[in-house]
Amino acid sequence: AQSVTQLDSQVPVFEEAPVELRCNYSSSVSVYLFWYVQYPNQGLQLLLKYLSGSTLVKGINGFEAEFNKSQTSFHLRKPSVHISDTAEYFCAVSGNTGNQFYFGTGTSLTVIP
Amino acid sequence: DSGVTQTPKHLITATGQRVTLRCSPRSGDLSVYWYQQSLDQGLQFLIQYYNGEERAKGNILERFSAQQFPDLHSELNLSSLELGDSALYFCASSVASGGDYEQYFGPGTRLTVT
């Protein structure tokens, strides 16, 4: 089985500062990794995904994430955040042997003007 | 707009009652997933259907059941409702079955059990 740990439940950051949201996973099989964003009162939207290949993945809205197999991590980064990035961010993992998706508990990113 | 629709948007009901949540996937998507999002448990995968057949099961209670119809819409039935069932229920769809396919989420149904 897989599981996901998001190490920070809340991350406040000033506008135009860089941010990193941390995600660690555990799995006994090869995994696919995802980051989703949830804006207030909305459903989840895919930011980026890692399936295979290059370990640095670029997504929408200037976000990127790096897959680190040895550290079983998939941290999300953005070099300069905007007010509009204030949202809940979820890391998710699925395995190539099944269809279950496991989500982390989420990180609430608050961008301070 | 993800293309996934869910009805109703809000539902308020009493303990012991039964409700049905409905989901229409994006055009062309064959897979439907159901999730429960609550403050204390986060986002929990409940169940997945692919082209009418159950494909994967997560933390779904026996009081809950789901099905996917020939037109690919899906319904989640919740019975003998308890206060703890109050949550946001999301439906997601993907073009195929498999962990590598992106899921598109609907706006959710907020269920309040009083």
Whether omega before B8 lies within 30 degrees of 0, making that bond cis, reads: yes
CA distance to partner chain A, nearest, from residue B54 (Å): 11
Residue A24 predicted with pLDDT over 70: yes
Could you tell me how many helices (H) and strands (E) chain B has, helices first? 0, 11
Helix (H, G, I), strand (E, B) or coil at B93: strand
b/e sequence B36-65, b meaning 16+ C-beta within 10 Å: bbeeeebbbbbbbbbeeeebbebebeeebe
Which one-letter amino acid corresponds to residue B46? L
DSSP state of B56: E
Q: Which tens digit of pLDDT belongs to each residue from B51-64?
A: 999 998 888 999 99
Amino acid A42: pLDDT = 84
CA distance A73 to A95: 15
Q: How confident is the model at residue B6 (pLDDT cuts 50, 70, 90)?
A: very high
Which has the minimum average pLDDT: A16-30, A93-107, B7-21, B67-81? A93-107
Higher-pLDDT residue of A44 and B98 is: A44
Cα distance between the two ends of chain A: 41
Residue A97 predicted with pLDDT over 70: no
Which has the minimum average pLDDT: A6-15, A97-106, B25-34, B88-97? A97-106
- Cβ–Cβ < 8 Å for B24, B90: no
Amino acid A99: pLDDT = 66
B59, B100, B101, B109, best to mutate vs chain A, most A CBs in 10 Å = B100
CA distance B76 to B37: 14
Residue B21 predicted with pLDDT over 80: yes
Residue A111 predicted with pLDDT over 80: yes
Amino acid A38: pLDDT = 93
Amino acid A27: pLDDT = 78
Which one-letter amino acid corresponds to residue B67? Q
What is the mean predicted confidence (pLDDT) over B27-33?
94
**Chain A residue set in contact with B, beta carbons under 8 Å:** 31-32, 34, 36, 41-46, 49, 51, 90, 94-96, 98-106
What is the mean predicted confidence (pLDDT) over A100-105?
86
Q: How confident is the model at residue A40 (pLDDT cuts 50, 70, 90)?
A: confident
Q: How confident is the model at residue A96 (pLDDT cuts 50, 70, 90)?
A: low
| β-strand partners of A102 | A93
Give the closest of A46, A103, A105 to B102, CB-based: A46
Amino acid A61: pLDDT = 93
Average pLDDT, chain B: 93
Contact criterion met (CB < 8 Å) for A99 and B58: no
Residue B89 predicted with pLDDT over 80: yes
Residue B41 predicted with pLDDT over 80: no
Tokens of B7: 């009805």
Q: How confident is the model at residue A98 (pLDDT cuts 50, 70, 90)?
A: low
Query: Strand locations in chain A, DSSP E?
Result: 3-6, 10-14, 19-21, 23-26, 31-38, 44-50, 56-58, 64-68, 73-78, 87-95, 101-103, 107-112
Maximum Cα–Cα distance for chain A, whole Å?
A: 44
Query: Strand locations in B8-84, DSSP E?
Result: 10-13, 19-24, 31-38, 42-50, 53-57, 64-68, 74-78
Among A31, A30, A29, A63, residue whose Cα is nearest residue A46: A63
- CA angle centred on A92, ends A88 and A96, rounded to 5°: 165
